[in-house]
Amino acid sequence: MRVLITGGAGFIGSHLAESHLERGDDVYIIDDLSTGSMDNIRFLQDNPAYKNRIFVHINTILNHDMMLELTGICDVVYHMAAAVGVQTILDKPLESIVTNIQGTEKILEMCNKFKKRVLIASTSEVYGKHLHAPLVETDNIIYGPSSKFRWSYAASKLMDEFTALAHHRTNGLEVVITRLFNTVGPRQTGAYGMVIPRFVTQALKNEPITVFGDGTQTRTFTYVKDVVSALMKLMASEKATGQVTNVGGIEEISILDLARKIIDMTGSTSTIQLIPYDEAFGKDFEDMQRRVPSTEKLERLTGFAPDKSLDFILSQVIAYIKSK
């Protein structure tokens, strides 16, 4: 099978590429390296077992001719390219909206032209600011005002979901929509704000751990290999067509407890530094207080749900960052 992965040099995209190569597929990657990196995929290109099976195009998904060619060649498309991380959204609001909305529109248009099955990577951000748990795909969506730019990410991804669903309804296009919950693992960088690589790096340097707000906000982290398994199974599942499905992990933890756990696991002498949100992100910021997935639907559709413990995930990330 020929698989096209947009954002294939990114953190999740590169793990997905690796798994498809291991399975024997040909992998086509398009990535503009805005947040992705050749370091994530060079070892795949250099692996003799994958010779003539990995094709990398450094280009934007907004390049019509390139997307026309790649979509035409491949059998299925994973659309993983997106503006990544809260920091990126706040630093480059316009670019982020254009990438997320126009990029996805273009991919869907191409997939519809060639009738190629496509998986759209959406995000748990789409749910907005709920306090209940777990979040179920049919839940209402609650956002803050448009002055708080964080919500532009959620709104743009929600528009991507609607556009994909509309293609399914109108054109019968086979779309699969996944809402990813805080994916973590080796190759993730802390450069765009992601909390676990940041905390682990700080702990290993015995520097203060920067907890934003009062640290009572919670997240549920998902191991990247589990995410890749879920994406591949959803791509293969007839029942997932035209559906929105959560992909998330199992252990809810507050950010303060996460900081303590990482200090403990690394044997660090770091202290914990509470930083007010407006100092970290400016005054127009609003955090999500709680984010816990229901994976009942994922399990029903694929027979699989992520099950890696937070201890396991952290041990993998610590080993990776130490090795760098």
**CA-CA distance, 215 to 213, in Å (whole number)?**
6
Does residue number 195 form part of the binding site for ligand UDP (CB under 6 A)?
yes
Q: What residues have CB less than 8 Å from 140, skipping those under 6 apart?
A: none
Choose the stretch contacting ligand UDP; rule: CB under 6 A; options: 107-115, 208-216, 246-254, 296-304. 208-216
**In 136-294, where does DSSP find H-type helix?**
150-171, 195-204, 224-236, 255-266, 277-281
Does residue number 194 form part of the binding site for ligand UDP (CB under 6 A)?
yes
Neighbours of 109 (CB within 10 A): 16
Whole-number minimum distance, CB 289 to ligand UDP, in Å? 8
Of 70 and 292, nearer to ligand UDP (C-beta) is: 292
Could you confirm whether 50 is annotated as catalytic? Answer: no
Among residues 126, 211, 305, 321, the one that binds ligand UDP under rule CB under 6 A: 211
Instruction: Show contacts with ligand UDP in window 68-87 (CB under 6 A).
Output: 86
Whole-number minimum distance, CB 86 to ligand UDP, in Å? 5
Instruction: Show contacts with ligand UDP in window 217-236 (CB under 6 A).
Output: 217, 219
Among residues 185, 212, 235, 306, the one that binds ligand UDP under rule CB under 6 A: 212
Q: What residues have CB less than 8 Å from 68, skipping those under 6 apart?
A: 110, 113
**CA-CA distance, 249 to 294, in Å (whole number)?**
9
Among residues 15, 20, 198, 297, the one that binds ligand UDP under rule CB under 6 A: 198
Whole-number minimum distance, CB 255 to ligand UDP, in Å? 5
Q: What is the DSSP string of 125-161?
A: GGGBS--SSSB-TT---B---TTSTHHHHHHHHHHHH
Among residues 40, 182, 222, 245, the one that binds ligand UDP under rule CB under 6 A: 182
**CA-CA distance, 294 to 104, in Å (whole number)?**
26
Question: How many residues interact with ligand UDP (rule CB under 6 A)?
Answer: 13
Does residue number 287 form part of the binding site for ligand UDP (CB under 6 A)?
yes
Q: What is the DSSP string of 301-320?
A: HHS------HHHHHHHHHHH
DSSP code, position 236:
H
Does residue number 255 form part of the binding site for ligand UDP (CB under 6 A)?
yes
**CA-CA distance, 177 to 160, in Å (whole number)?**
9
Task: Find where tokens 């950010």 sit.
Answer: 255
Catalytic one among 78, 127, 143, 153?
153
- Give which of 248, 79, 95 is closest to 167, Cα–Cα: 79
Under a CB-based contact definition with an 8 Å cutoff, are residues 199 and 221 in contact? no
Choose the stretch contacting ligand UDP; rule: CB under 6 A; options: 76-84, 108-116, 210-218, 262-270. 210-218
Choose the stretch contacting ligand UDP; rule: CB under 6 A; options: 20-28, 62-70, 157-165, 194-202. 194-202
Under a CB-based contact definition with an 8 Å cutoff, are residues 183 and 195 in contact? no
Of 92 and 233, nearer to ligand UDP (C-beta) is: 92
Choose the stretch contacting ligand UDP; rule: CB under 6 A; options: 18-26, 41-49, 59-67, 204-212. 204-212
Of 21 and 83, nearer to ligand UDP (C-beta) is: 83
User: Could you list the active site residues?
Assistant: 153
Residues of this chain that bind ligand UDP (CB under 6 A): 86, 182, 193-195, 198, 210-212, 217, 219, 255, 287
